[in-house]
A and B are shown apart, each in its own frame.
Chain A
């Protein structure tokens, strides 16, 4: 078990190293640079700014400098947000994205799994159809449509919740969390339903029924475990994606998270910020994949022993 985690962490480190190298050079290959969108400045000033960010050095030297910084947990300065380091930007935005993402995935997992089980147990009944329609709506209708709709209804008409921002504690969280969880509720409920139906046809579930232990115990002790394995395999990596923020959610609800940096940094050619965000996402993805494998190993004895 410890050996397994150790090996996976080592593999993860190698993956991150490859990710850093690839992102660094691909970024430089893209046309334009950090200051090409600025208003006209004189060549002398530009030279000075470039020198300040060491952009005048050869690329390999820049890379060495960046890696050296990384080894000291220094992600470099943002070229866009002057006076802020990439570390500062992530540290200030991440808590918002983390909080919203965490609750969204909790809500999505609980509601999605419950809906999926209900749909599978009452297949082809009104319960199943309602869950199915909600699922299609949740997947098909984009966040930038549902978000404003919620704002109109719950903030402007009913006046229950703030339209956006992050200054009203849990009340500010409700709508972003709900809207972010909707597509995931939809996806998880479809996944759970399909997996449940498949598992209910398994021979070992029939064996359990033949033991006369009752429908409830058959479901809890036999069907559920096998049925939830694919859901867990989905939850792990998607959690990494959700807690690193969503640009749509953060834009619609004016949340100062890091999701917006994903897109903005790339558009602005803010090299260090792009690197920092990519690294963060990569690291989280690796960690959640390891966690997923640990949970799967705990649930499924056949998945153990190869680590």
Chain B
């Protein structure tokens, strides 16, 4: 896959904790092609957000990332802070989970947007401000010229996330990392914000990695999907194919646990028994084995390799070979 924009290989993210080392991401590999939207789904604690933080060099101070992440010819994981700053906010941007706290409360919205352009593109204050206002207009902030002079607390949550989107895309990055961008928002505006992000991404030609636990969001926006559990890739494939025929027992469970309008009155919502594993030592076998209803003895003993069952379709399950 030489046409990849981002190529992550064997990514490991570990945290030093008082109780010992905790592995959040365990040998994850994937590719992002220019302009595509890749979804990473998983439950809380599956390590999905940490993948994004490690790419941005924003891991907490007790976290370390190993492996390689080749982005436009440079390994993001090997760069120092100075070199990283010529990529972050230039060709690689990020949108965070909580728009209420992710904007600087002491700075005008327009200044926060203009800042990146002034630092990275050397625009004058007036030019950068003009571009910021234009971008606010594009994310449909009404009366953008006046609103740019306002502070974050004068914006609603949905508007703040649109401001974050504007800020991230203003520099026209090649890749946008979106960490559960709508989790903190009211359900009624989630779709609106996501559509806006995807639409602008398409216009600019930005590829997006969308991390979420919401399968509906993935189905709506993503070209390809990676299903993550316990810091490992369970399954990967084109969104349509994966949703139509999930191959991994975990993906099957996830889909069964998604509410559907037509079943709302007749069927009980499916659940996956047990609770997601959090921290602790890595299991020798499949991380999902303790909760898997189809478990066979080998699942606890050895890790299933990630194998291709079709083009662009990878599954990590001992049962896949057997069936």
Contacts and interface: CB of A to CB of B under 8 A. Distances in A.
B115 A221 contact: yes
B291 interface: no
B105 A302 contact: yes
B105 A300 contact: yes
B56 interface: yes
Interface in A196-233: 202-204, 206-215, 217, 221-222, 225-226
A299 interface: yes
B101 A213 contact: no
B153 A213 contact: no
Contacts of B119: 211-214, 217
Contact of B93 (A203, A208, A210): A210
B153 A302 contact: yes
Contacts of A225: 106
A211 B151 CA distance: 18
B105 A226 contact: yes
Interface stretch (B10-18, B78-86, B189-197): B78-86
B69 interface: no
A301 B151 contact: yes
Contact of A301 (B88, B105, B120): B105
A204 B57 CA distance: 16
B160 to A, nearest CB: 11
A204 B105 contact: yes
Nearest to B170: A211
A95 to B, nearest CB: 37
Question: Which of A204, A207, A221 gathers most chain B CB within 10 Å?
Answer: A207
Contacts of A302: 105, 151, 153
Q: Which of B56, B57, B102, B104 has the most CB of A within 10 A?
A: B104
A240 B302 CA distance: 70
Contacts of A208: 104
B48 to A, nearest CB: 17
A215 B102 CA distance: 17
Interface string A174-206: 000000000000000000000000000011101
A299 B106 contact: yes
Contacts of A299: 106
B60 to A, nearest CB: 9
Given A225-B106, A301-B151, A302-B153, A212 B101 contact: no
A210 B105 contact: no
Given A206-B58, A302-B153, A212 B86 contact: yes
Which size class do A's interface residues fall under?
A: 20 to 34
Sort chain B's interface into a size bin. 20 to 34
A203 B95 CA distance: 11
B21 interface: no
Contacts of B56: 210
A195 to B, nearest CB: 14
A74 B82 CA distance: 65
Given A208-B104, A221-B115, A301-B153, A203 B86 contact: no
Contact of B115 (A213, A300, A301): A213
Contacts of B115: 211, 213, 221
Interface in B112-126: 115-116, 119-120
A203 B89 contact: no
B306 interface: no
Contact of A209 (B82, B88, B101): B88
Contacts of B101: 202-204
B105 A221 contact: no
Contact of A204 (B89, B90, B102, B116): B102
A302 B57 CA distance: 31
Contacts of A215: 81
Nearest to B81: A215
Nearest to A300: B106
A225 B151 CA distance: 15
Given A221-B107, A301-B105, A301-B153, A210 B85 contact: no
Interface in B55-111: 56-58, 81-82, 84-90, 93-94, 96, 98, 101-107
Given A212-B84, A300-B106, 20 more contacts: A203-B96, A204-B102, A204-B105, A206-B58, A207-B104, A209-B57, A209-B88, A210-B56, A210-B94, A212-B86, A212-B87, A212-B90, A212-B119, A213-B89, A213-B120, A221-B115, A222-B104, A222-B107, A299-B106, A302-B153
21 contacts: A203-B102, A204-B104, A206-B58, A207-B103, A207-B104, A209-B88, A210-B94, A210-B96, A211-B119, A211-B167, A212-B85, A212-B86, A212-B89, A212-B90, A213-B89, A213-B119, A213-B120, A214-B85, A215-B81, A222-B107, A302-B105
Question: Which 7 A-B pairs have CB atoms at the shortest separation, nearest pair first?
Answer: A212-B88, A212-B89, A211-B89, A203-B101, A212-B85, A301-B151, A204-B104
